[in-house]
Structure 1
Amino acid sequence: MNWLSAFFRRLVAALRRSAELAYIAVSWPFRARHSEAGKKSLIFRLAVSAVVLVLIAAYGQFLWRTQVWYGFDPEFAKSYGFADRKVAAGQQIADKPGSCQNSAIVTTVADLTDMNVNQNIWVSSTLLYKLGFFGLDWDDTPFFDNKASFQRGVNQVARRVAIELADNLGRVRGTSGINSDLQDARGNIQFDEFTWYFGANPFGFKTPTPSYYRAAIRSWRRFNSDLETCKAVFDARADNLVQLMDRAANDLGNTSDILRRRSEDHNAGWFDTRADDRFWFAYGQLYAQYALFQAARADFGDVIRERNLTAIWTEMEKQMEAALRIQPAIISNGSEDGIIMPNHLSTMGFYILRVRSNMVELRSVLER
Structure 2
Amino acid sequence: MYQDLIPQPPTLMRRRRVSLRARIFGTGLLSVTKRSTLMLTIAFGLYFGVAGSMMNRIDADPSFTPPTPIEGGSRAVDMAAALIERETITHRWSPNDPFFYPTAFHINMPSFQSGMMRGVGRFTLELETQIGRLRGSGAIDNDLERAAGLLQFPPDVWLFDLNQSLLPVQPADAQYRAAHAALINYNQRVARGEAVFETRSDALVMTVDRIATDLGSRAARLDALVDTDPFIINFTSNRMLYFNKGMSYAFYLLLRELGEDYQSVIAAHGLERVWAQAIDSLRRASQLQPRVVLNGSGANSIVANHLQLQGFYLKRAVLQLDEISRVVRATR
TM-score (norm 2): 0.80
Q: Which letter maps to 2:139? A: G
Q: How does 1:197-346 map to 2 (within 5 A)?
A: 197-201=159-163, 202-269=165-232, 271-337=233-299, 341-346=303-308
- Kindly, what percent of the aligned residue pairs are identical? 26
Matched, 1:109 2:80: yes
3-state secondary structure, aligned to 2:134: coil
Deviations 1:77-97 (A, max 9, x none): 4x88x9xxxxxxxxxxxxxxx
Do 1:124 and 1:130's aligned partners in 2 also have CA atoms closer than 8 Å? Answer: no
Do 2:132 and 2:198's aligned partners in 1 also have CA atoms closer than 8 Å? Answer: yes
Instruction: Using the TM superposition, give the Cα deviation of residue 186 of structure 1 relative to its aligned residue in structure 2, in angstroms.
Output: 1.1
Q: Distance in 2 between matches of 1:246 and 1:299?
A: 17
Q: Which letter maps to 2:181? A: R
Match of 1:62 in 2: 52
Instruction: Using the TM superposition, give the Cα deviation of residue 74 of structure 1 relative to its aligned residue in structure 2, in angstroms.
Output: 2.1
Runs of 4+ aligned residues of structure 1 deviating over 4 Å after TM superposition are: 47-58, 129-133
Match of 1:146 in 2: 108
Matched, 1:75 2:37: no
- Closer, same or farther: CA 114–340 of 1 in aligned 2, 3 Å: farther
Q: Distance in 2 between matches of 1:281 and 1:126?
A: 17
3-state secondary structure, aligned to 1:203: coil
- Closer, same or farther: CA 198–159 of 1 in aligned 2, 3 Å: same
Match of 1:165 in 2: 127
Do 1:100 and 1:230's aligned partners in 2 also have CA atoms closer than 8 Å? Answer: no
Q: Which letter maps to 1:75? A: S
Instruction: Using the TM superposition, give the Cα deviation of residue 58 of structure 1 relative to its aligned residue in structure 2, in angstroms.
Output: 5.4
Q: Which letter maps to 1:214? A: R
3-state secondary structure, aligned to 1:204: coil
- Closer, same or farther: CA 204–350 of 1 in aligned 2, 3 Å: same
Instruction: Using the TM superposition, give the Cα deviation of residue 326 of structure 1 relative to its aligned residue in structure 2, in angstroms.
Output: 2.6
Q: Distance in 2 between matches of 1:262 and 1:74?
A: 27
- Closer, same or farther: CA 61–199 of 1 in aligned 2, 3 Å: farther
- Give the number of the structure whose alpha-carbon radius of gyration is greater: 2
Instruction: Using the TM superposition, give the Cα deviation of residue 184 of structure 1 relative to its aligned residue in structure 2, in angstroms.
Output: 1.3
Q: Distance in 2 between matches of 1:266 and 1:318?
A: 29
Q: Which letter maps to 2:215? A: L
Q: Distance in 1 between matches of 2:170 and 2:304?
A: 42
Q: Which letter maps to 2:230? A: N
**Gaps in structure 2 of 5+ consecutive residues:** 1-24, 30-35
Q: Distance in 1 between matches of 2:155 and 2:115?
A: 11
**Gaps in structure 1 of 5+ consecutive residues:** 1-35, 41-46, 83-98, 139-143
Q: Distance in 2 between matches of 1:50 and 1:119?
A: 34
Instruction: Using the TM superposition, give the Cα deviation of residue 327 of structure 1 relative to its aligned residue in structure 2, in angstroms.
Output: 2.0
Match of 1:364 in 2: 326
Do 2:209 and 2:322's aligned partners in 1 also have CA atoms closer than 8 Å? Answer: yes
- Closer, same or farther: CA 232–49 of 1 in aligned 2, 3 Å: farther
Instruction: Using the TM superposition, give the Cα deviation of residue 336 of structure 1 relative to its aligned residue in structure 2, in angstroms.
Output: 3.1
Deviations 1:121-170 (A, max 9, x none): 2211111289997xxxx6xxxxx101111111111111111111112211
3-state secondary structure, aligned to 2:99: helix
Deviations 1:164-189 (A, max 9, x none): 11122112013332221111111111
Deviations 1:309-337 (A, max 9, x none): 11211221222233334321110001333
Q: Which letter maps to 1:151? A: Q
Count of aligned pairs between the two proteins:
298
The alignment's C-alpha RMSD in Å is 3.1
Instruction: Using the TM superposition, give the Cα deviation of residue 355 of structure 1 relative to its aligned residue in structure 2, in angstroms.
Output: 0.6
Do 1:100 and 1:227's aligned partners in 2 also have CA atoms closer than 8 Å? Answer: no
Report which stretch shifted further, 227-236 or 354-363: 227-236
3-state secondary structure, aligned to 2:157: coil
3-state secondary structure, aligned to 2:161: strand
Match of 2:146 among 184, 196, 202: 184
TM-score (norm 1): 0.73
- Closer, same or farther: CA 161–130 of 1 in aligned 2, 3 Å: farther
Do 1:266 and 1:272's aligned partners in 2 also have CA atoms closer than 8 Å? Answer: no
Q: Distance in 2 between matches of 1:189 and 1:166?
A: 12
Do 2:131 and 2:203's aligned partners in 1 also have CA atoms closer than 8 Å? Answer: yes
- Closer, same or farther: CA 324–63 of 1 in aligned 2, 3 Å: closer
Q: Which letter maps to 1:259? A: L
Q: Distance in 1 between matches of 2:125 and 2:152?
A: 9
